Structure 1
Amino acid sequence: MSLPIPFLNTVEKLIPRERRYDDPLSTLAFGTDASFYRLIPKLVIRVESEAEVIALLQAAHTELVPVTFRAAGTSLSGQAITDSVLLLLGDNWNGREIRDGGAQIRLQPGVIGAQANAWLAPFGRKIGPDPASINACKIGGIVANNASGMCCGTAQNSYHTLAGLRLVLADGTLLDTEDASSVAAFRNSHATLLDQLAELGRQTRANADLAIKIRHKYRLKNTTGLSLNALVDYDEPLDILSHLLVGSEGTLGFISAVTYDTVPEHPHKASALLVFPDVESCCKAVTLLKSQPVSAVELLDRRSLRSVENKPGMPEWVKGLSASACALLIESRAASQSLLHEQLNQIMASIAVFPLEQKVDFSEDPTVYNQLWKIRKDTFPAVGAVRQTGTTVIIEDVTFPIEQLAEGVNRLIALFDKHHYAEAIIFGHALEGNLHFVFTQGFDSPEQVARYDAFMQDVTQLVAVEFGGSLKAEHGTGRNMAPFVELEWGSDAYQLMWRIKRLLDPRGILNPDVVLSEDPDIHLKNLKPLPAADEIVDKCIECGFCEPVCPSKGLTLSPRQRIVIWRDIQAKKRAGLDTTELEQAYQYQGIETCAATGLCAQRCPVGINTGDLVRKLRGGQAHHAGSAAWLAGHFATALKGARLTLRVANGARKVLGAPLLAKTSGALRQLSGNRLPQWTPAVPQAARPIQLTPATVDARPRVIYLTACVSRAMGPAASDREQVPLIDKTRMLLEKAGYQVVFPENLESLCCGQPFASKGYPQQADDKRRELIDALLKASRGGLDPIYCDTSPCTLRLVQDALDDRLKLFDPVRFIRSHLLDRLEFTPQDKPVAVHVTCSTQHLGEAQGLIDIVRRCTNEVVIPEGIHCCGFAGDKGFTTPELNAHSLRSLKEAVQYCEEGVSTSRTCEVGLTQHGGIDYHGLVYLVDRVTRPRPDA
């Protein structure tokens, strides 16, 4: 059925066309969340204001149009998908207000959880919930799912740390529980609703058996069904209402702001890994640890340890553990080191009676405890990475009463064996009796679906009936457990949930079939296919962790969505369906607007670089191998051509003036069908050819200076206050530090190959890289001298795959950090400096190193929030300028108080200068300005 015309008319009047999506590619892309379900929405609307949400809900309420809200789409149980209307949070939901020295924080629903903690870090505070997806999930989802995590437990979840809520009901009514006038207006307009909520609370508290059951259920971690504890914990109807919204998964209203009471973030911590000989002794230890000063206790069964035993950094003894072994990863935190040491002694004394197979003692060393937590965090992706192509990885989370945890673990393992899930693993938040189990499942045949259903029927009977536990501890009910809510809660509680749903959403428009469903088979419908597409991306589990760092997300597609669409194209082709229209749309949305810088791989649990797929697809379209080969063989000539182009552009600027040239360039680009590049005042002038001086024999240490081709071609922009070229500035700094600067021979012909690789010509790219490495070996006397590369993307290109380990290659950050700090004396300036950490700097592991160097140079460092990749991507800033503009859309406001920015990529600096409104330079400019040679160096 199509959407009602009156509703569509309202949408068209309210929402600009560029924020409405109804084409096949977009609706498929947004029909995917992190769960194993898929529904294709009829319409996706990117909402940017509360007023829009109110108007849309009023229209939906009138026209009976089902609506689902979407934040980050990291939900695991099918909460963020719909076959009707999907309201997607846009950019403008990132507001925050820090109160009382960090004791409280008010957040809009689009704020990423980790960003909230970054804002609170200077105050020594954090929000209570700490889900594993905190680097990607957003506050709206955290509250709506009542997410918890490894350290959160039950005391610090959203329900228990809620201080205020701003919400919109299904009929479009707004309520802000912290605004007296809003509360008064709501009491006046919705007095009947509040009276009914109060009456439901009285009835529930008067029903002794039901009230006891509710309190018992929420003694455990529990997100199955609606938050009935609101009816026994509160008698004020506004408190009942706001706490019912927590964990409601978008079925009772829209959360437009939340105020948290924050919790301490203790600075001192230590972690240990203890391996017990069996599940029983491990779980008995957990019972004792419950009363100890521990912040987290994570259980890992033998299967989960086996899934990661071959990972780098794993202790060798893990492979030799017995088949029955079971481990605890324990963390303790404290306000002081002395208190921490007292706690560690107390913890170990409490479980000293238990024999251990192996252990890693408590360590405060970040390298050690980060590695231990990496073991825990790698278990889920380890299963996903080895699954058979076409299957999905499913993660369930249940809670057993802690006193029955050992039996629960063993009974779950028995169910894995019964239903032949040999790859299944168990890990979890042991202090709460909360276990995650991960298994792989195909849905390609009725037999596979029946096997899954039989398994889930057994699991739900075991957990909910036999043990009185929770079927969903922290991932939310979704569609996955909606048919089993009554099984867990019983008829009285289940009917009470339906009364609440019908009271707050009488027309049933909010996220139907989520949490509560009248369809007993809803968990077996709309199962998501994961067809083979390409071995580069076949292991993708569509979790969405990659999305926050992608520069094209919100402009076109995110990495997750690129994979979703490519999977669908390949599946349709195998089925003999016409994919012409989809592939035409994908050309721009999936291929042309991908920066292909690979930041997504850093966030991906299974290490997928979607840029690799895009480069491969570009290679399939690259039909000018002869031209590429000619350019590779005549690179010096090509470089001269680039300089000539820049000189012509600069001549046009002098004749026409910058404003007119920019306008003319834009018009010509539009007339050319976006084939001509865009000129802006940030475009560089042509660089002067390098004045080479032959190496001499003297006492100074030598450094081989590899100037990137962009540094050789591009000088400063005409508008830049700094007119010394990068090459000259770098040479000045190196010589100031006492180095003799030596250039490789035939420098004009050398290139790392990156321009060829990004265009889909891997052979020419590899040939140029090999040629350059040979030249560097010769210049460095077989690797004796260090090699300084002035652009981090080129450095990354050269160190990838380690073609020759004799070369000592350094990007600007690492060379300054390791070779210049003890040779230079720094006098920091007072002017604030903006820092852009390039993608390549992040891949090289030098992000913090760059920030630390800049902090030596200035007393105020500005790191713009939410900008991970600038989207310039070599030449995309010229050829696809909208990608660069979209990625840096918030930069100007973030750096408005700075006079200068620094980075380590000449091309990135062009885009940063244009969109930041300040001049961005290489790091060496700043370091040179604030340093002088150390007398003792």
Structure 2
Amino acid sequence: MNALSSPATSRDYDALAVRLGAIVPPERLIRDPLRTLAYGTDASFYRLVPQIVIKADSEAEVIAILAECRAAQAPVTFRAAGTSLSGQSVTDSVLLVLGDSWNGVKIEDDGKAIRLQPGVIGAEANRRLAAFARKIGPDPASIDSAKIGGMAANNSSGMCCGTADNSYQTMLSMRLILADGTLVDTGDAASVAAFRASHGALLAELAELGGATRDNPALAERIRSKFAIKNTTGYSLNALVDFEDPIDILTHLLIGSEGTLGFIAEITYRTVPEHAHKASALLLFPDIAEACRAVAELKHSPVSAVELMDRPALRSVEDKPGMPAEIVGVADGVTALLVETRAESAEGLAANIDAVKHVLAAFTTLYPPAFTDAPEEFGKLWKIRKGLFPAVGAVRKTGTTVIIEDVAVKIPDLAQAMLDLQALFAKHGYDEAIIFGHALDGNVHFVFTQDFGIRAEVDRYAAFMDDVCHLVVDKYDGSLKAEHGTGRNMAPFVEMEWGQEATALMWRLKRLLDPSGLLNPGVVLDDDPYAHLWNLKALPAADPLVDTCIECGFCERMCPSHGLTLSPRQRITGWREISRRQAQGDDAPELRKLYDYQGLDTCAACGLCSTACPVGIETGLLTKALRGRKLTPLQKMAGKLAANNFGLAMKGARAALVAGRVAQAMTGGSFPKVHASLPRPAKPPVANRATGEEVVYIPSCANRSLGASSGAPESDAVPERMTALLEKAGFRVVFPENMAELCCGQAFESKGMNDLADAKSSEMERALLAASDNGRIPVLMDASACTLRLKRVLDKRLSVFDSVEFLHDRVLPRLEIERKESRPVLVHFNCSARRMELEGKMLALAQACAETVVVPEGVGCCGFAGDKGFTTPELNDHALRRLPAAVPVDAEGGYSSNRTCEIGLSDHSGKPYRSIAYLLDRVGKRKD
């Protein structure tokens, strides 16, 4: 049961790696032990370490990779985002990961259809469809992170789509690659005709299987009844009774096949309406039975979603922002339903609310139903519900693994089934288990924790799962897997649910489409009755900063180094393994050496991962802590000298950058990239003599040192321009004393020198308190990264404003926009601005100043990370790899609120990026 088990075969993976290396460049072929370990983790409670991780960027590469794996008889597993919960995307053989080039989106028929490549994140598809008031049907809780390829392969559903709007029901066509390397596009008549000619025998057998199934009344009825409720156990046998054309049968079999029958290269969905008018209510019932009885009646009312949360689930989130105070301290047994209703108009929404309240009047609730149609209010409730699984996992005992299962029963059986399930929790000692889920479809999830390092605990888990399966199947004829896919943990139980005849049919389909059994073996079907007990993933203690992580992967989309080295999830996985080995007396020198670069040097420590993490884990804090532990006495001494002589240190840093640029130009060497024409230092700002409202202005050390942006029409640095702009708006600017020596501490914190960082913050705090008359005068900081730290650490008497919010809230209203910039302007929301939720104000500022504002797609954290753009330029290159293609040729330039970020953005875009203050000053004049 070792999570780090070796492959069960003696295949020559070294030779295979050589052949695969002829298909993709070296950076997309991964074999080092740290990254293979990292890719051996998904959101499930299994771990298998692949021998080879290969990133494919095209259909041609997928076909070539499959050919080499067939020749080597090496199993291959496909992976999209790795957010699946049942072990579908891990392997001890070859892991084929989607590379960068699978992000194609094409909207068709005025938004009624959308063509998507498998690397598109579900929420991105919906963002593109928003202008048409449409969305895709599947709506899993992981939609902000899950990719279309995985959503289709797992037939993911979610809170609203039920059985009517999932991938199976809304798919219009598919591009797919079979195990033999054949590519067919079912939306292209010529491709289909060629496929019918080349694979006539295969299609004839599919047609025969479909006909035989439809001609078997008992089996056909069994299949229809099984799919009348949510069901992802086994293969989509409903394809055999729903369709006669073998092409349709084939494509619908691939939905929910979890990569065991073929590769989904593209899918076209029929979209569904996204109603603009919504309202939600959190309802509290005295017990779970009463809540489930209400669900049965709500099923016939105008509700779009009904989510159940039992008392332990409520307890795990009752302290989250946005949760109603009424849920705190309620009695044991109290159960919540989170209900949503939608309509095309405000009048329709009001009518729906009245109808739902009428239904609820027949049931006992602790408080009268109170619906809210305010997006900021119900949005918090749904965000918490979507993050409930990771949030519950975060409160587990350190060292235990969190397990989630999902089952479905018929709605009339829901109340009793939940009581029976709770009885099983008690029988097997899972006192911490919680229940939540999509009650409107009879689909509930239950979560519990387990220590897989103890044999007796594994045996307890095995006995519990046996009892759960018999309960769901024997008593309720329900689904053992409702939406998470069969995976590895239910593969041994498929025959228990489906019976021998239907399971034999599934095996026949598997062997027809994958004769060698090389596509994701052990997933969906497995003859080993104990397969679900192998390769269980432990989550050993690593550091209190990250021990609550359950490796769900929600963070990965936010990380600038994901795909270059490691993501936040993978950094935690790697450090857990190093810590585990260290606890056993193994210092793991090879992993540590790899981790120095992959885990520490290439981490931007931007903190954006915390904004996507349901429990707010900021992996960058671990990175900075580990950097601090690695510091040598000499490095610590140098840091102290810099802190004590900060002005001199900044001059030295600038001189070093200039020297490096010159050396690079002279030698053609590989000195870290410096902006093509490093700007001259900023002039010391001079306080203006204007009268009016005072503001304390503290320019960041970067803005004091680096000056104006190269290539920009402006020659003055940010402090000069900001001062002039503030004066134009009628402010009297006050500067703190000894400004050259002041630093917020961010530069030291990022190196792990927390004591020096705090000392510099304290020094700045004293200066700002003096300059602001003990907090009477507001303080303006012109770099968002510094503002974020100041807001976090400074005396609460100080009112610290970022330049974005101050310019938006205080300066813009005092100016008259003379003439908007006619050329497109680019806007970048840097990490700290995002963390302070300033995107809206930044965008509003730009839109007030320019006719066309462009926020480049696919650009998050720029990866410059203070000085990383100089010392580790590949991080900046990777983070901004999509920027050049998103820049309009006629763009005037770009704007942000972090000087170092602007250097990297300028370099990669070919357009000058600078502070948004320049744009506002250029187009605005003081109101008379």
**TM-score range for the pair, normalised by the shorter chain length:** over 0.9
Report the alpha carbon displacement of residue 606 of structure 1 after superposing the two structures with TM: 2.1
Cα distance in 2, alignment partners of residues 51 and 699 from structure 1 = 68
Aligned residue type for 1:638: A
Displacement of 1:318: 1.5
**Shift in alpha-carbon separation, 1:910–1:207, aligned structure 2, 3 A:** same
C-alpha separation in 1, matches of 2:816 and 2:233? 61
Task: Give the superposition deviation at 1:923.
Answer: 0.8
Aligned CA RMSD, in angstroms, stands at: 1.6
- The question of whether the paired residues in 1 share the 8 Å contact of 2:75 and 2:520 is answered with yes
> How far apart are residue 668 of structure 1 and its match?
5.4
Match of 1:737 in 2: 729
Q: 1:464 deviation in Å?
A: 1.7
Shift of 1:613: 0.7
Equivalent residues in 2 for 1:395-544, closer than 5 Å: 395-544=404-553
On the 8 A contact 2:142/2:386 being kept in 1, the answer is no
SS of the equivalent of 2:260 reads coil
Residue 916 (structure 1) aligned with residue 925 (structure 2) = no
Q: In structure 1, give the amino acid aligned to 2:282.
A: L
- Alignment partner, residue 144 of structure 1: 153
**Secondary structure of 1:160's aligned partner:** helix
* From 594, 599, 612, the counterpart of 1:590: 599
Q: Does 1:679 align with 2:674?
A: yes
2:861 maps to 1:872:
no
Please name the residue that 1:78 is paired with.
87
Once the two structures are superposed, residues 887-930 of structure 1 have per-residue CA deviations (whole angstroms, 9 ceiling, x without a partner) of 00110111133221111000000000001111101111111122
Cα deviations across residues 834-864 of structure 1 (Å, max 9, x unaligned)? 1110100011121222112212222222112
CA–CA distance in structure 2, aligned partners of residues 860 and 309 of structure 1: 43
Aligned AA (2:736): P
SS at match of 1:185: helix
Q: Cα gap change, 1:226/1:647 in structure 2, threshold over 3 Å: closer, same or farther?
A: closer
What code does the residue aligned with 2:727 have?
E
Cα distance change, pair 845–5 in 1 and its aligned pair in 2 (3 A): closer
Paired with 1:79 and 1:718, the residues of 2 have a C-alpha distance of 49
Matched residue, 2:388: 379
CA contact (8 A) 1:384 1:606 kept: no
Q: CA separation in 2, counterparts of 1:866 and 1:206? A: 50
Equivalent in the alignment of 1:262: 271
TM-score, scaled to structure 2: 0.96
Kept after mapping to 1: 8 A contact 2:66/2:180: yes
* Counterpart-to-counterpart distance in 2, 1:7 and 1:757: 44
Alpha carbons of 1:647 and 1:144: their partners in 2 closer, same or farther (altered >3 Å)?
A: closer
What is the Cα deviation at residue 644 of structure 1?
4.1
Aligned residue in 2 for 1:673: none
Mapped partners of 2:45, 2:232: distance in 1: 19
Residue range with higher mean Cα deviation, 766-775 or 713-722: 713-722
Q: Which residue of structure 2 lines up, in the alignment, with residue 655 of structure 1? A: none
Structure 2: 5+ residue stretches without partners: 1-9
Q: Give the AA of the match of 1:819.
A: R
Contact 2:682 2:708 in 1 (8 A): no
- 8 Å Cα contact 2:711-2:911 kept in structure 1: no
Q: Do the aligned partners of 2:81 and 2:145 also contact (CA within 8 Å) in 1?
A: yes
Post-superposition CA distance 1:634-677 (Å, at most 9, x none): 11222333444466678x5xxxxxxxx654465153xxxxxxx4
- Kept in 2, the 8 Å contact 1:465–1:487? The answer is no
Structure 1: which 5+ residue stretches go unaligned? 653-660, 670-676
- Aligned equivalent of 2:802: 811
Report the counterpart of residue 6 of structure 2 in structure 1: none
Structure 2 Cα separation of the partners of residues 42 and 639 of structure 1: 47
Say whether the 8 Å CA contact 1:68–1:81 is kept in structure 2: yes
Normalised by the size of structure 1, how large is the TM-score?
0.96
Alpha carbons 2:694, 2:731 under 8 Å: kept: yes
Matched, 1:55 2:72: no
1:271 alignment partner, SS class: strand
The one-letter code of the counterpart of 1:811 is D
**Which residue of 2 is the match for residue 558 of structure 1?**
567
- For the Cα contact (< 8 Å) 2:107–2:115, is it kept in 1? yes
Q: CA deviation at 1:466?
A: 1.0
Give the whole-Å Cα distance in 2 for the aligned partners of 1:663 and 1:462.
73
Counterpart residue number, 1:339: 348
Aligned mate of 2:684, from 658, 681, 690: 690
For 1:636, the equivalent position in structure 2 comes to 647
Match of 2:205, SS state, is helix
Preserved CA contact (<8 Å) 1:44 1:87: yes
**Cα gap change, 1:49 to 1:382, in 2 (>3 Å):** closer
Q: 1:141 to 1:367 in 2, by over 3 A?
A: same
User: What is the aligned residue count?
Assistant: 915
Q: Determine which of 299, 324, 328 is the counterpart of 1:315.
A: 324
CA distance in 1, matches of 2:15, 2:652: 58
Tell me how far 1:457 sits from its aligned partner: 0.5
- In 1, Cα distance between equivalents of 2:171 and 2:769: 61
Q: How does 1:601-640 map to 2 (within 5 A)?
A: 601-623=610-632, 624-640=635-651
Tell me the secondary structure at the aligned position of residue 363 of structure 2.
coil
Any conservation in 1 of the 2:683–2:717 contact (CA below 8 Å)? no
Whether the aligned pair in 2 keeps the contact of 1:662 and 1:679 (CA below 8 Å) is no
Q: Pick which of 543-552 and 353-362 moved more.
A: 353-362
After superposition, the C-alpha distances for 1:278-308 in whole angstroms (9 at most, x for unaligned) are 2222112111111221111111112211222
Aligned position for 1:189: 198
Quote the Cα distance in structure 2 between the aligned partners of 1:606 and 1:371: 14
Q: Deviations over 1:602-656 (max 9, x none)?
A: 1112221111111011101222222222211111222333444466678x5xxxx
After superposition, give the CA deviation of every residue in 1:441-494 in whole Å (9 maximum; x if it has no partner): 110111010000011001111112210111111110000100000111111111
Q: Tell me the residue number matched to 2:136.
A: 127
Give 1:784 shift: 0.9
Per the TM alignment, residue 724 of structure 1 is displaced from its structure 2 partner at its CA by 2.1
Aligned match for 1:752, one of 737, 744, 762: 744
Residue 934 of structure 1 is matched in structure 2 by 927
Single out whichever of 50-59 and 104-113 deviates more from structure 2. 50-59
Give how far 1:319 is off.
Answer: 2.6
Q: Distance in 1 between matches of 2:391 and 2:658?
A: 53
Q: 2:691 touches 2:731 (CA, 8 Å); kept in 1?
A: no
8 A Cα contact 1:37 1:528, kept in partner = yes
CA distance in 2 between counterparts of 1:159 and 1:900 reads 45
What residue in structure 2 maps to residue 791 of structure 1? 783
3-state SS, counterpart of residue 270 of structure 1: strand
Q: Which amino acid in 2 is paired with 1:634? A: N
Matches within 5 A, 1:174-213: 174-213=183-222
* Closer/same/farther in 2, CA of residues 37 and 643 from structure 1, 3 Å limit: closer
2:701 to 703, 709, 728: 709
CA positional deviation for 1:13: 2.1
Q: Deviations over 1:395-430 (max 9, x none)?
A: 111101111100011111111111111111111111
1:886 aligned residue: 878
CA distance in 1, matches of 2:369, 2:694: 44
Which amino acid in 1 is paired with 2:530?
D
| Aligned pair partner of 1:599 in 594, 599, 608 | 608
Deviations 1:44-75 (A, max 9, x none): 11111100111221232333221100111111
Aligned partners of 2:11 and 2:72 also within 8 Å: no
Aligned letter for 1:933? R
- Partner residue, 2:4: none
- Between the two proteins, what is the percent identity of the paired residues? 55
Is 1:852 paired with 2:863?
Answer: no
C-alpha distance in structure 2 between counterparts of 1:225 and 1:8, whole Å:
32
Is 1:667 the counterpart of 2:658? The answer is: no
Counterparts of 2:471 and 2:159, CA distance in 1: 24
Once the 2 structures are TM-superposed, how far is the Cα of residue 718 of structure 1 from its aligned partner? 4.3
What displacement does 1:828 show?
2.8
Among 308, 315, 326, the alignment partner of 1:299 is 308
Amino acid at match of 1:833: V
SS at match of 2:167: coil
Q: Is the 8 A contact 2:43 2:553 kept in 1?
A: yes
Q: Which residue does 1:843 correspond to in 2?
A: 835
